[in-house]
Amino acid sequence: MTPNFITDVIDADLQSGRHTRIITRFPPEPNGYAHLGHAFASYLDFMTAQDYGGLCHLRMDDTNPEGETQEYADSIIRDMQWVGWDTRHLFYASDYYEQLYGYAEALIRKGLAYVESVSGEEMARLRGTVDQPGTPSPYRNRSVEENLDLFRRMRAGEFKNGEHALRAKIDLTSPNFKLRDPVLYRILHASHYRTGDTWCIYPMYDFAHPISDAIEGITHSMCSLEFVDNRAIYDWLMEHLFPARETGRTPPRQYEFGRRSMEYTVVSKRKLRRLVREGVVKGWDDPRMPTLSAMRRRGVTPESVRAFAAQIGVSRTNRTVDLAIFENAVRDDLNARAPRVMAVTRPLKVTIQNLGEGRMLSLPYWPADVVRDIADGRVPLPTGERVPPEQAVREVPLTREIVIESDDFSADPPKGFKRLTPGGTVRLRGAGIIRCDEVIKGADGEPAELRVTLLGEDAKAGGVIHWVSATRGVHAEFRLFDRLFTVPEPDTEAQQFDPEQPGHEDDTKPLNTDFMRFVNPNSLVVTRGLVEPSVTRDPASARYQFERAGYFWRDPVDSRDDALVFNRIITLKDTWGRKPDRVEPKAESKPRPEKKADAAAPVRPALTSEQESVFARLRGHGVTENDAHLLAREPQLAAYLDAAGDKRLADLAPWVVNDLATPIREGTNRVGVEDLAALVTLLAEGGISVRIAKEVLAEAQVSGEAPASIVERKGLRVVSDEGQLRAAIQGVLDANPAKVAEYRGGKKGLTGFFTGQVMRATNGQADPKTVARLLNEMLG
């Protein structure tokens, strides 16, 4: 960590003897996937502890059962491990429910908490205003005995949601509203993904978080600036529940750092969930998303994520980070990591008329400047070999028929065009200079083939282009990803209030969701082309710089040896070029100027009157705006979807647009719309997971078998039968006796380990809720 105000505090604490060892914590809420904002926060927590030889705990802040799942918890653990953090010190706030309840009763016995029985609206009114102090509730002076009785009955499930709540008795006159008798516990009859239905009252963030820190012995509790007012509750709880004079140890303290927002994206999990739910993206790991799972799938390395987190720094003010800083961190990392090869993403056929059988060329993986820049003079090749970079070469076949990028030819070139033109010359990378002698046009009047002559080295050429053999190149799909939004701050208005943030439970302002209008319609462009055959010898994890096209790697989900799919990790240069790479403070207190949203909104191709009619009909049946616009412009896709009938349009449209569009366009689709509907019905009924649905759909495209039949034949339905799950769980427990002993000895954080093992044992088909309940029962 670069020295900052928090490290200054730690230095002083160590020097004074306040602490002798540093323990921090990273406490994400498992209600979505971790994103780049979490990358910065986790970097601060984990690296601070590492620099001081201490520990950092990963703790799931799972005190709100609505929306929290084992899937999200597992994904966060997986992403933190990928970034490079040690996650062995894993904890869950839900492990402390019994202890938290005990501390709540302790506050009641001290006369510092009471059971409130007014409605939420009345409670808000009684808190007063900025100019008026709060008014005591008629229930504020209940006796200790009555409060204990009611609180225990709340736990026992005697009351409905909202009928009562437990409040701290602090100061109704405080200018800090957080201290005006905040709610500590609320009644919520909801099943928790780890504790099941054991609890129907759940602690609020402001109560659970400080106490969890104290239980774990955290020394420095770091959080973003929005929780600066919450620190007063933190300190109040430490004073009354963990005073040093009684515990013999120094309680933790909270320190706030400036939050980091990123341009051209959103990081609110509520907004990210909407993008997934409405099919704007294909899931939490869609490479356009800002999630760490998406970064991993896109091909970004953990080293570049850490480098980015290190660059943006720690301060006491909120800042908005130019996305170019992240993109340049990725480029800097890949420049010396990714060997150069050639791929053509939008092919135009070229016939070299004076070339006979062709020949094999030996071309370098690395340009001279990179060879010079590598400090130790050696680089890892995709094959895993290590040789001097100047000797790292691959064989590339030059054949009579090749392909070039269609953009590298122009029949009517603009001024300064340095690629191929009729009668003009250009250098083929590593192969020589060609002259365009003849242009063969297709039925649409566009160039379909160029006939060229290979010239001698004494010829002159204005530019250099890349190419691939048309007969020996490998066919591949290229996914060209770009920024998901067209404007730097798509959710500026919506960020005024986000109810998912802990500590905001009592706010009732609506959430503005206007950010969807700024979705970039060109955030994903899929093309088909050719890549040089050398890549077939490399491992799937190899990253490349496809010359002049960008950095790419194979999609780890969809790519196969016989059907390569390459994701563009990043372009070679910043194609947006809005401003220099820097972190700019944003003056949050200044009023924001009115935005001309319509002018900034993404520009889609105009629709004809007939297409407008189709668009309106699809929107009327619940199809999202983006999907409806695409379907209206593509009659093949719309015709396929129409066969299902109007009632299924909204459910099927995302699958048609995201999963079946390419085979439908190419005439290779083997999944009928009724078969797709049957699969989507299975998914909606909870019979299968999204992962299984996608895998089955891909298999059906190859075999022609109905997806639902594949599910039945392979027995892929979600397993919820208790007998089967008990047997699977018992097998896991029998195979891990030491872990069982640790769990029963108090290490409750192992629940996640056992859940993961059961999911593996059932091939990911076990119903997570049933597993959680049975594990709780069988582990005792």
CA distance 310 to 83: 13
Distances (CA, A) of 625 to 120, 275, 522, 665: 37, 12, 14, 21
**Given 25, 29, 288, 405, which residue is catalytic?**
29
What is the separation of C-alpha 573 from the centre of its chain, rounded to a whole number of angstroms? 23
Q: Among this protein's residues, is 259 annotated catalytic?
A: yes
Contact call for residues 60 and 93 (beta carbons, < 8 A): yes
Q: What is the dihedral of CA 142, 148, 153, 159, to 10 degrees?
A: 30
Helix, coil or strand: residue 331: helix
**Given 25, 269, 288, 479, which residue is catalytic?**
269
Distances (CA, A) of 497 to 177, 506, 510, 644: 17, 12, 8, 40
Helix, coil or strand: residue 78: helix
| Residues 6 or more apart in contact with residue 100 via CB below 8 angstroms | 203, 207, 208, 211, 212
Q: What is the DSSP string of 261-309?
A: EETT----HHHHHHHHHTTSSSSTT-TTSSBHHHHHHHT--HHHHHHHH
CA distance 125 to 123: 5
Question: Dihedrals φ, ψ of 438, to 5°?
Answer: -150, 140
**Given 169, 180, 259, 554, which residue is catalytic?**
259
Q: In the chain, how many H helices and how many E strands?
A: 27, 30
Torsion sign, CA atoms 308, 312, 313, 315 = negative
Contact call for residues 400 and 355 (beta carbons, < 8 A): yes
DSSP code of residue 627:
H
CA distance 214 to 242: 7
Contact call for residues 565 and 474 (beta carbons, < 8 A): no
Among 112, 192, 95, 209, residue whose Cα is nearest residue 151: 112
Q: Which token pair is 52? A: 């001081």
For residue 224, what are the β-bridge partners? 257
Q: What is the dihedral of CA 435, 440, 441, 447, to 10 degrees?
A: -30
Helix, coil or strand: residue 505: coil
Q: Among this protein's residues, is 634 annotated catalytic?
A: no
Distances (CA, A) of 98 to 102, 203, 267, 396, 428: 6, 11, 33, 66, 71
For residue 479, what are the β-bridge partners? 526, 567
CA distance 130 to 773: 46
CA distance 771 to 194: 9
| Residues 6 or more apart in contact with residue 367 via CB below 8 angstroms | 340
CA distance 178 to 423: 76
Contact call for residues 297 and 556 (beta carbons, < 8 A): yes
Contact call for residues 461 and 344 (beta carbons, < 8 A): no
Q: How far apart are the first and last CA of the chain?
A: 43
DSSP code of residue 719:
B
| Residues 6 or more apart in contact with residue 186 via CB below 8 angstroms | 161, 162, 165, 166, 201, 202, 204, 505
Scanning the structure block, which residue is given the tokens 């990790």?
569
Q: Among this protein's residues, is 269 annotated catalytic?
A: yes
Distances (CA, A) of 57 to 54, 91, 165, 590: 10, 7, 30, 38
Distances (CA, A) of 226 to 4, 219, 229: 19, 20, 8
Give the count of beta carbons closer than 10 Å to the beta carbon of residue 121: 9
Give the count of beta carbons closer than 10 Å to the beta carbon of residue 388: 12
Catalytic residue list = 29, 259, 269
